[in-house]
Structure 1
Amino acid sequence: MGIKIALPSKGRISDPAVDLLSKAGIGLKDTVNRKLFSDTYDDQISVMFTRAADIPEFVADGAADLGMTGLDLIEEKEANVKILEDLNFGKSKLVLAAPEESEVRKLADVKKGSIVATEFPQLTRKYLENNGIPGKIVQLSGSTEIAPFIGVSDLIADLTSTGTTLKMNHLQMVDTILESSVHLIANPVSYNEKKEKMEEIRTGIKGVLDAEGKKLVMMNVDEEALDDVKHAMPGMTGPTVSQVLSDNGLVAVHAVVNEDEVFQVVNRLKKIGARDILVVPIERII
């Protein structure tokens, strides 16, 4: 039974999604000519490219078994899908924002009956209701930032990554409605029927995510210095030690280290007397 994975066909999360699959060992056979349906190097797995906004519904309906798309779209569509993993990229926030000249600075300043323009009417409506604010929702399909300045709305609810676009359009954030990132989702029925293969895919992807920001540090060191090495080089479960057959009293040590700690760790190891130090990239941690 084959697995069909729905990926965004374009946009800022499309290439990272394809790259993640490739690093997990599920690369596309044809990376140059991206087609609607693409084969991978696993005969049981194929990829379907479509709009990110349609992926929650396609997965919920069973048109795809798995999908990668933003949590904001999953929640907005209220899709009946099983969330398998937060893929930790494509991070953004759905925020409530008002013009800089507005008196609205915080949620308590929002008046009853305020009009909010957004591409996310369901999430925005729930947010207002949960906060006891009767308001009107105006659904737009783009250019949300301009709505308050042409009399369409008092506020907007829109996605932002850094807040730069809001500032450029003279808008200020009032509150965060939802924090979003790309998630791996599954059709519940397909997951029950094809759980073993889907978990293999999930494990491969999670292995890539777990390896991000990690390096493998390896070296040779005198056996007498092992205690010092252990304190200087903490690994995920402690450093691994093996005998070096060609040199008496010399052992080989390796451990997984956070990338931002490598510089300090290597210098500490050199002071202890470690030699032949290697720092190696890690593709996956299973």
Structure 2
Amino acid sequence: MRIAVPNKGRLHDPSMDLLEHAGLHAVDGADRKLYADTVDPEVTLLFARAADIPEYVSDGAADVGITGLDQVREADPGDVTDLLDLEFGQCRLVLAAPEDGDIESVEDLAGKTVATEFPNIAEQYFADQSVSPDIVEVSGATELTPHVEMADAIIDITSTGTTLKVNRLGIVDEVLASSVHLFAREDVVEDEKVQQIVMALQSVLSADGKRYLMMNAPADKLGEVKDVIPGLGGPTVMDIEGDGNGDGMVAVHAVVDERDVFETINDLKSVGASGILVTEIERLVE
């Protein structure tokens, strides 16, 4: 089973970190290599340009891929299935035009020229809008094209909008909201190993922003303790044994959102909980 991973750029390190947290550690070093084995003898990493990964998966060079949704939509391989939003690399593909120009809506681009590195996405977008501009494919510096009279507007990626503002471009419409996704070729989606990979990565995402609370609480206050714990499906309650001091006490474990920890601990103390321990969660299989 081969997983295609971005070989460099802003998507490489977060992809590798996620795989490692999921237990798929690369071995023998992954730097400057085309392939890397993982601790799972059935799983190999293949490093490729983010834009090429959809084609690698479609052609069978890899079974599973990690790359931006924008790259998948642009490649439009047709035989891959989106499995999981990995929730990083967020950006937007937007239609933008000069702030001091006369392009204020998509309809204003009829018969005009639009420059983009994403011609397939642009073509589909304008088809959906029933507008027919000329689409010019460029390989970089898209935001400069309106200022050198190559285009009336652009479709380009933005994360913060800073580059657009610097180049005096205003957003006319959002074309696509993108983030990094896990996807697979259709014929391997139901493969057991693919499903294991999906579960492993999902467990890391599910644990993000969660904390594990452990405490002792008076048994006769258990109802009040449960009322103040914003847990996932309620806390786990266990008897305390082997300690004379444990009479009338129970152990309570719960998963809570990190943002609720401060207030929850104060509320738990007020109803008699003690020995409260908070730990991080690496993976959470729901």
Using the size of structure 2 for normalisation, the TM-score is 0.95
- Match 2:236 to one of 240, 249, 252: 240
Helix, strand or coil at the partner of 2:82:
strand
Structure 2 Cα separation of the partners of residues 111 and 94 of structure 1: 17
Distance 2:260 2:139 in 1: 45
Which residue of the partner structure matches residue 206 of structure 1? 202
Post-superposition CA distance 1:143-172 (Å, at most 9, x none): 101000001000000011111221122111
For 1:87 and 1:32, locate their aligned partners in 2 and report how far apart those are by CA, in whole Å.
21
1:219 to 199, 215, 218: 215
Q: Deviations over 1:9-63 (max 9, x none)?
A: 0111111111111000001113463411001111111100000000001001110
**Equivalent position of 1:49 in the other structure:** 47
Matched with 1:117 is 115
3-state SS of 1:148 partner: helix
Partner in structure 1 of residue 16 of structure 2: 18
Runs ≥4 residues deviating over 6 A: none
Distance 1:33 1:21 in 2: 15
Structure 2 letter corresponding to 1:269:
L
Q: Partner of 1:279 in structure 2?
A: 278
Percentage identity across paired residues of the two chains: 47
CA distance in 2, matches of 1:44, 1:90: 27
The aligned counterpart of 1:62 is: 60
Give aligned pairs, total. 281
Q: Of the candidates 213, 227, 230, which is equivalent to residue 226 of structure 2?
A: 230
Give me the whole-angstrom Cα distance separating, in 1, the residues matched to 2:88 and 2:31. Answer: 24
CA contact (8 A) 1:68 1:184 kept: yes
Partner secondary structure for residue 52 of structure 2 = helix
Whether the aligned pair in 2 keeps the contact of 1:148 and 1:155 (CA below 8 Å) is yes
Query: Cα offset for 1:254?
Result: 1.1
User: 3-state SS of the aligned residue for 1:52?
Assistant: coil
Does the CA contact (< 8 Å) of 2:29 and 2:36 recur in 1? no
Whole-Å Cα distance in 2 between the matches of residues 142 and 272 of structure 1?
61
Q: Residue 234 of structure 1: CA displacement? A: 2.3
2:125 corresponds in structure 1 to 127
Distance 1:33 1:78 in 2: 29
Instruction: Point out the more displaced range, 71-80 or 29-38.
Output: 29-38
Residues 144 and 158 in structure 1, CA contact (< 8 A), matched pair in contact too: yes
Any residues of structure 2 matched to 1:33-48 within 5 Å, and which?
33-48=31-46
How many angstroms apart in 2 are the aligned matches of 1:111 and 1:188? 37
Q: Specify the code of the residue in structure 1 equivalent to 2:18.
A: L
**Residues 199-238 of structure 1 deviation map (CA, whole Å, 9 limit, x = unaligned):** 1111111100111111111111111111111110021110
- Is 1:75 aligned to 2:76, yes or no? no
Q: Is the 8 A contact 2:94 2:172 kept in 1?
A: yes
Aligned counterparts of 2:101 and 2:4: Cα–Cα separation in 1 = 42
Distance 1:97 1:238, change over 3 A: same
How far apart, in 1, do the equivalents of 2:30 and 2:118 lie? Answer: 33
Contact 2:83–2:184 (CA<8 Å) still a contact in 1? yes
Give, in angstroms, the shift of residue 198 of structure 1. 0.9
Flag structure 1 segments of 5+ consecutive residues without an equivalent.
none
Aligned counterparts, 1:147-158, within 5 A: 147-158=145-156
- Note the C-alpha offset of 1:104: 2.4
**Secondary structure in 2 aligned to 1:176?**
strand
Preserved CA contact (<8 Å) 1:62 1:190:
no
Q: Distance in 2 between matches of 1:43 and 1:32?
A: 15
Aligned to 1:259: 258
The one-letter code matched in structure 1 to 2:65 is G
Unaligned runs of 5+ residues in structure 2 are none
Whole-Å separation in 1 of the counterparts to 2:27 and 2:255: 32
TM-score by length of 1: 0.95
CA RMSD of aligned residues (A): 1.2
SS at the partner of 2:123?
A: helix
